[in-house]
Amino acid sequence: MLTEVRNHIKLIFTSLKYNLLKEMEYRVAFISQVIGMILNNGSFIIQWIILFSLQSHFGGYLFEDVMLIWAVAAGAYGLNRIIFGNSINISNYVLTGKLDSYLVQPKNVLLNLIVSRSSASAIGDLLYGYIVIFIVGFTLESIALYTILILIGAIIFTAFTIIMQSLAFWLGRAEGIAAGVENAMLMPSTYPEGLFSGVVKTILFTVIPVGYMVYLPVRILRQFDILTMLSLLGFTALIVVIAVFIFYRGLKRYSSSNLMIVRM
């Protein structure tokens, strides 16, 4: 069991190393993508300056708190795209038969598949998160807590993406639906949870788990609470189990036409 976990971690780090080396091959493009993403996220500060000139707080959230939401959302999204960057391509691989090359390798199919690609611009997202945390003025302990929380957020987002992308096993073309639902998760993730109430809030904590990916981590960062942390960890375990179950259930339905490709 322990050896298996160690092998999985080794696989994640080895893939990450080679993915990043590949992305960094064209240095100028790589650096411009990273800086571009930092500026991209930063540009929304103007929007919030204007909004805060109309309202002193949003559901009890001040300007610094909204920046914290951005830090958590960008950090979790960034880590998802850096470590599990290929999770968004599952439906495409199912549809085109590219999954074959992963089935014959002596590694965990799902893990091997989702870690086999990284996004350069996502490094900009991750850096932006840390820049905001430093500007807001946090201690070493809270930076450590932030790192743990965005890792949890990234795992939740990855699990959710796997569930949506796995619909391709049953529906065929599911890229549009998966991308749409993913957007549905990202759009509210940069707005304070106090804006949403009733059914919408329930949806954000169940069907589209943005509440667990961003809102609960932000609550924990603002005021640490062990019960909130435990419920976050419990939900993370649950959604990972559901994602793995759905993927392997769908994999039983998978068939291809012996597509010949080489993974370089």
Partner 1 sequence: MRKYILVAKSALKEQLQYLGNLFGGFFVYGIIVFVFLQLWMYIYQGSSSINGYSLNQLVWYIVITEFIVFAMNSPVISTEISNDIKSGKLAYFLNKPYHYLIFVLFKHIGTIIPAIISYIVFGAIMGIVYIGPLETFQIISTPFFLINLTLGGLIFALIYILIGLLSFWVEENAPFKWIFSKIIIVLGITFPLEFMPSWLRGFVKLSPVYTVTYAPAKMFVDFSFDEFFSLIMAQGIYIVVLIILIVIAYRKGVRRLNVNGG
Residues that bind partner 1 (CB under 8 A): 29, 32, 36, 39-40, 43-44, 46-47, 49-51, 53-55, 58-59, 176-177, 179-181, 183-184, 187-188, 191, 194-196, 200
Choice between 111 and 167, CB closer to partner 1 = 167
Choice between 55 and 139, CB closer to partner 1 = 55
94-122: string of b/e by CB count within 10 Å (b at 16+)? bbebbbbbbeeeeebebbbbbbbbbbbbb
Smallest distance, Å, CB 194 to partner 1?
Answer: 8
What's the rounded Cα separation, in Å, for the pair 224 and 217?
9
Smallest distance, Å, CB 124 to partner 1?
Answer: 12
Triad 93, 78, 63: Cα angle to 5°: 140
Smallest distance, Å, CB 29 to partner 1?
Answer: 7
| 97 Rama class: left (phi>0) / alpha (psi -120 to 50) / beta | left
Choice between 47 and 105, CB closer to partner 1 = 47
Choice between 15 and 81, CB closer to partner 1 = 81
Smallest distance, Å, CB 197 to partner 1?
Answer: 9
Choice between 137 and 198, CB closer to partner 1 = 198
Length of the chain: 264
Please give the full DSSP string across 194-253, using - where no structure is assigned.
GG--HHHHHHHTTTSTHIIIIIHHHHHHHS--HHHHHHHHHHHHHHHHHHHHHHHHHHTT
Smallest distance, Å, CB 110 to partner 1?
Answer: 25
